Amino acid sequence: MENLWNFSFPHHVRIPDKGFPSCRSARMELEINPRTVDQILILDCAGRMVSGEDLHSAKEAVEQLVSTTNAVVVNLEAVSYIDSEGLGVLVGIHSSVRNRGGKVRLAGANPVIKDVFRLAKLLDVIELHESVDQAVRAFRKIA
C-alpha cells in the first residue's frame, strides 16, 4: 500500500518498515496506526489518550495526516481512557477537517469514553458510531 501522506515524525516515534507509519512512542501509552478504506482515512488508536509526550507527538503527526483528507474515522475501540487533552486533540482534528468541508466520525468508544463525550457535550458535535464499518458506511451514504 502506498503512503499517500507525506510527513515526518518526532525522533522518539517508531516508524515500521512498510505501509503507513505508526505513531507509537517507546512507552506505548498511545499508538495510532493510519490506514485507508475507500479513500477514508482510518486512525486506529490504542492505549490511553492522556496528557503527555505520547499525545503531543501523536497530535503533531495526525495533524499532518488529516490535512490531506476530508473523510476521517477515529477508531477508539482499543482506547482505554481519555482525558481533557485527549478530547482536545479529537476536537482539533474535527475542527481542522470540518473547516476544509470534511467530516470526522468516531467509532467504537467504550461506555466510559462515551460517557466522557456525553458529559463534555460533544455528542452533538462529533458523530459517534458503534463500529468503524458503521462509520465508513455513513460516509458512503453521503457520496
Q: Has residue 54 got a pLDDT over 70?
A: yes
- Checking if the pLDDT of 16 tops 80, the result is no
pLDDT at 6 over 50: no
Side-by-side strand order, sheet with 23-24:
23-24, 30-37, 40-49, 71-82, 103-107, 127-129
Question: What are the domain boundaries of the chain?
Answer: 23-142
Whether residue 14 has pLDDT greater than 70: no
Q: Does domain 23-142 have CATH number 3.40.50.2300?
A: no
Q: Could you tell me what percent of the chain has a pLDDT over 90?
A: 64
Q: Is the pTM of this model over 0.75?
A: yes
Handedness of CA 79, 83, 87, 93 (dihedral sign): negative
